[in-house]
């Protein structure tokens, strides 16, 4: 450990993102990016914003973008927080709502950034187990926690809690802040956004990266009652008042207003997901029911690590997690129909050898 490093970094294991190949020769099914480009309206808005005003700071409170998101969800602008990707929004939520004297809980199998944030900010936590079928047991959060965080749909399983169970969890624990990470909700799950007005202990976090094809712009947002949003604003303005740049704000506004394009692309992905799941099952894979833009699949006769390596040798990238409970699964992003046909063909060839 370098003597100049902070002590808090001594035991931190940073989050490791999916591989981003440099040569561009791969079929890239490993980072849950959207296979389709952003709406043409997004590109036009960014082009229009890329003028002489780039010399000026962007709007620090993202007022126009907050207004567009609020209109989409039937909320007020003061119930919206915007950040530089949902990862940043989640990090600010950890800082805004939890302290080292608190204890929080999240699923043991879920987005691996949650324990990283907790360790970085010295927040004690319990990683609660999923059921044997990988579903989330909401009663596992019945302990004396200050906060509950879970992804819905979950990552990397893709499985989603019905909205009635989400609401039950929020309603039964009014003393706990419940953060629902809905990065993948637009691919078939039920959003808790409609519950925000009724529950002061609910924060819903979403992103433009997945369903709106804007991973490269880094736009995330939170929905919650005004008192929660004020806390997030306080953290942001104590750290960096200009987290979202001018081009990103312009592109995100155009994206959320183009509902037709959004519906078309997400429906294409969901249709391809179901065909892919059927194809994997025909090859002998077990595929968990997914409401995300990826599937989580295992094969009873082949190790996931070996399949991952064999696919990579064929220039197809998927995600493998060498972690207990999921080390026999591959997480496979849904690409275009042609990409998924190439994947299934490669797997058939691998399994025949």
pLDDT of residue 19: 78
Structure tokens that stand for 66 in this block: 């907050």
Judge whether residue 22 has pLDDT over 90: no
**For residue 353, pLDDT beyond 90:** no
Interhelix angle for 246-257 vs 40-49, to 10°? Answer: 150
d(CA 143, CA 173): 10
Structure confidence at residue 4 (pLDDT)? 85
At 23 the pLDDT is 75
Q: What's the start-to-end Cα distance of the chain, in Å?
A: 46
Q: Considering the chain, what is the average pLDDT of its residues?
A: 95
The burial class, CB within 10 Å (0-12 / 13-18 / 19+), for 55 is exposed
Query: pLDDT digit string (tens) for 174-208?
Result: 999 999 999 999 999 999 999 999 999 999 999 99
Higher-confidence residue: 18 or 187? Answer: 187
SS3 (DSSP) at 26: coil
DSSP result, 145-192? -SEEEEESS-TTT-----HHHHHHHHHH-TTSEEEEE-TTGGGT---S
For residues 122 and 135, give the distance between their C-alpha atoms in angstroms, rounded to a whole number: 28
Confidence of residue 1 (pLDDT cuts 50, 70, 90): low
pLDDT tens digit sequence for 68-84: 999 999 999 999 999 99
Reported as a single tens digit per residue, the pLDDT across 102-114 is 999 999 999 999 9
At residue 15 the predicted structure's pLDDT band, cuts being 50, 70 and 90, is confident
| pLDDT at site 12 | 83
CA distance 16 to 111: 11
Rounded Cα distance between 326 and 134, Å, is 10
What string of H, E and C letters represents the secondary structure of 57-108? CCCCCCHHHHHHHHHHHCCCHHHEEEECCHHHHHHHHHHHHCCCCCCEEEEC
- Averaged over 298-326, what is the pLDDT? 96
Report the pLDDT averaged over residues 205-214: 98
């Amino acid at each position: 450990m370098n003597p100049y490093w902070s002590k808090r970094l001594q035991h931190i294991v940073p989050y490791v993102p999916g591989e981003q190949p440099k040569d561009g020769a791969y079929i890239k099914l490993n980072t849950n990016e959207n296979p389709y480009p952003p709406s043409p309206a997004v590109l036009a808005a960014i082009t229009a914003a890329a003028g002489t005003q780039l010399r000026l700071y962007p709007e620090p409170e993202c007022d126009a973008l907050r207004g567009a998101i609020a209109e989409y969800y039937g909320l007020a602008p003061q119930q919206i927080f915007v950040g530089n990707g949902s990862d940043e929004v989640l990090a600010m939520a950890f800082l805004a709502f939890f302290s080292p004297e608190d204890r929080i809980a999240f699923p043991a199998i879920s987005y691996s950034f949650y324990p990283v944030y907790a360790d970085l900010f010295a927040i004690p936590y319990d990683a609660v187990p999923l059921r044997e079928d990988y579903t989330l047991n909401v009663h596992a959060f019945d302990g004396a926690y200050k906060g509950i965080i879970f992804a819905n749909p979950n990552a990397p399983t893709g499985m989603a809690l019905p909205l009635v169970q989400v609401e039950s969890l929020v309603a039964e624990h009014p003393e706990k802040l419940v953060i629902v990470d809905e990065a993948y909700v637009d691919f078939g799950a039920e959003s808790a956004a409609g519950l925000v007005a009724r529950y002061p202990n609910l924060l819903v976090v979403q992103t433009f990266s997945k369903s709106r094809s804007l991973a490269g712009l880094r736009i995330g947002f939170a929905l919650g009652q005004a008192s929660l949003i004020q806390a997030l604003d306080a953290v942001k303005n104590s750290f960096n008042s200009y987290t979202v740049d001018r081009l990103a704000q312009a592109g995100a506004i155009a994206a959320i207003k183009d509902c037709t394009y959004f519906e078309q692309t997400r429906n294409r992905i969901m249709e391809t997901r179901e065909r892919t799941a059927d194809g994997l099952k025909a090859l002998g894979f077990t595929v968990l029911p997914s409401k995300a833009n990826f599937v989580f699949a295992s094969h009873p006769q082949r190790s996931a690590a070996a399949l991952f390596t064999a696919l990579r040798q064929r220039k197809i990238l998927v995600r493998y997690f060498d972690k207990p409970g999921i080390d026999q699964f591959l997480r496979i992003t849904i690409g275009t129909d042609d990409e998924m046909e190439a994947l299934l063909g490669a797997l058939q060839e691998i399994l025949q050898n």
